């Protein structure tokens, strides 16, 4: 083999190696770009996430109202889904599923879990139905039925609050509540939403609170 041939083979080898390196770098960049959940969302992505979450909450709220109008008592409503494994199962709900929010025999809402890309790492990826809070200036002093989506990325929370209230989220201090709705309401109130000094959530049936690290979206389903 002549020196010229050796140089040509060496140049080809370098070109192939360079192509492999460039392809690997491109693949890594594409992969990282698709892993939205591990990075911040763009404003447009946050806005679409907010619209999706509000839309699902509204669908659930509409189903609750419809079932109550057709004869379901508030204590008969069932928010159980296969994904939540009985956490919200209501033993007092009719066996035919007529008061089940997510069954075709009831509210007919097609349940989908919260997209983890919208949440901070480790957040619970389901809608949470709680009966241990009241919302200030909504209904009476009785405990309300409240839907929550917890652990949202701050940008998603910000877009939700802009859509619902026309202003940025506020760091409301809310106590811990443990009563998952299974047909009954807690006798003791965990805390009031909108009862902090200067709170923007007083009298607001829906909004998103943000403590700077994550946001919590709430919607009153039944004001009592």
Q: Based on the fold, state whether residues 65 and 139 are members of the same structural domain.
A: yes
Domains contained in the chain, number: 2
Q: Based on the fold, state whether residues 21 and 54 are members of the same structural domain.
A: no
Q: Could you tell me the residue range of the domain that residue 22 belongs to? A: 1-34
The DSSP symbol for 166 reads: S
Pick from 173, 163, 177, 91: nearest CA to 131: 177
Q: Based on the fold, state whether residues 19 and 43 are members of the same structural domain.
A: no
Q: Based on the fold, state whether residues 85 and 8 are members of the same structural domain.
A: no
Q: For position 5, what pLDDT does the model report?
A: 52
Q: Tell the residue number behind the tokens 């809070």, with chain if given.
A: 133
Q: For position 165, what pLDDT does the model report?
A: 95
The DSSP symbol for 180 reads: B
The stretch 72-100 carries a mean pLDDT of 96
The stretch 106-119 carries a mean pLDDT of 97
Asked if residue 55 has pLDDT above 60, the reply is yes
Q: Based on the fold, state whether residues 140 and 104 are members of the same structural domain.
A: yes
pLDDT digits (tens, 9 = 90+) for 115-132: 999 999 999 999 999 999
Q: Based on the fold, state whether residues 148 and 185 are members of the same structural domain.
A: yes
Q: State the pLDDT confidence band at 8, using cuts at 50, 70 and 90.
A: low
Cβ count within 10 A of residue 134: 23
Q: For position 86, what pLDDT does the model report?
A: 93
**Whether the Cβ atoms of residue 51 and residue 163 lie closer than 8 Å to each other:** yes
Q: Based on the fold, state whether residues 91 and 21 are members of the same structural domain.
A: no
| Cα-based distances in Å from 155 to 174, 183, 188, 190, 200 | 20, 34, 33, 27, 18
**Whether the Cβ atoms of residue 156 and residue 53 lie closer than 8 Å to each other:** yes
Q: Based on the fold, state whether residues 95 and 183 are members of the same structural domain.
A: yes
Q: Based on the fold, state whether residues 47 and 106 are members of the same structural domain.
A: yes
């Amino acid at each position: 083999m002549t020196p010229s041939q050796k140089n040509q083979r060496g140049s080809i080898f370098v070109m192939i190696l360079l192509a492999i390196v460039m392809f690997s770098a491109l693949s890594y960049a594409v992969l990282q770009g698709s892993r939205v959940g591990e990075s911040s969302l763009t404003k447009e992505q946050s806005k679409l996430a907010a619209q999706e979450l509000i839309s699902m909450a509204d669908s659930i709220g509409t189903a609750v109202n419809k079932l109550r109008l057709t004869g379901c008592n508030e204590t008969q409503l069932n928010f159980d889904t296969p994904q939540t494994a009985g956490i919200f199962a209501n033993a007092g709900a009719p066996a035919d599923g007529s008061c089940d929010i997510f069954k075709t025999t009831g509210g007919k809402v097609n349940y989908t879990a919260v997209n983890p890309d919208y949440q901070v790492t480790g957040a619970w990826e389901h809608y949470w139905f709680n009966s241990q809070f009241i919302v200030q200036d909504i209904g009476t002093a009785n405990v309300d039925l409240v839907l929550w989506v917890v652990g949202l990325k701050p940008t998603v929370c910000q877009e939700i609050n802009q859509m619902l209230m026309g202003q940025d989220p506020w760091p409301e201090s809310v106590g811990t509540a443990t009563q998952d709705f299974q047909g009954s309401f807690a006798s003791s109130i965990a805390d009031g939403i909108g009862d902090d000094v200067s709170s923007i959530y007083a009298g607001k049936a829906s909004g998103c609170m943000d403590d700077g690290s994550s946001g919590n979206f709430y919607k009153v389903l039944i004001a009592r």
